[in-house]
Chain A
Amino acid sequence: MTLAADLLDQAAHLAALERGRPKQASLRRAISSAYYSVFHLIVEDASRYLVAGSRLRPAVARSFEHQAVRAAAEAVGAVSRKPTGAHWFRPHLNDPISPELSFICDMFIDLQERRHKADYDTGATFTRLQAGGAVGLARHTQLLWPQQRNTHNAHAFILASAKLLRAR
């Protein structure tokens, strides 16, 4: 099992805990783990794409920053939703961007925002559907990613996430 798969299982376990009235702590951790499962999935594949040697992969994986991956995901979303607009990332992408990759990128941004709220906003309350929905979306994202990971546009997303492609 990969770290991404383990985190997803853990998220599902936490989202289903305490039948009746779930503890807010369980729901918050479920949302947070759902985000990290997608982050590690992308980073694991990105490091495999960037370096052949397995000894270097952990160091490469560690170099990925949450905000940089988010910025890359935002760039993919911006190009996808405005197919004719000018954007620094457009020349690096093949047209059209698949709806699956576009969704994966949207989900990354959305889950990151939810994780932020779940981890830091002590005034917020969460429902089981919010937690279970986040886990379901992360699970669906994990199913879509393997179909996309070897495409040109997914590679461009990975390179932008690693800050090897950026606006100039």
Chain B
Amino acid sequence: MIELKIDIDKKDKRDFMGRYQALYRYFRFNLVDYEIAETRKGYHVRLIIDFPFRVTSEEIVLLQLLLGSDWKREMLNYLRVKNGIDDWNKLFKVKYRIYKKGSKIKFRRLSYERPIKNKHKL
């Protein structure tokens, strides 16, 4: 059982649909659970998938890339995997930028996930 975290940086969902359908057609995996959240730029998709074969961390990065995840994020993920950093697959619910005002540390929200109101009417 693996978890794929896909960061889609555009509001157009057709590209992701096509990629997901193609992947399903070729690998015939079992989708156990999924979660989709909307962000300012696009969508965050979390899929829990039961593959019929063993999948390594590098292959998870490849699958995320095939499903149209942000290439920059996947590049950093690959670097983390290659350097043996555990807990490498990150997809933040909320993201803040840290800045300093005088001697105080402040935060500015960059992005956040919000649930899609009507999933089936997406």
| A and B: bona fide binding partners | no
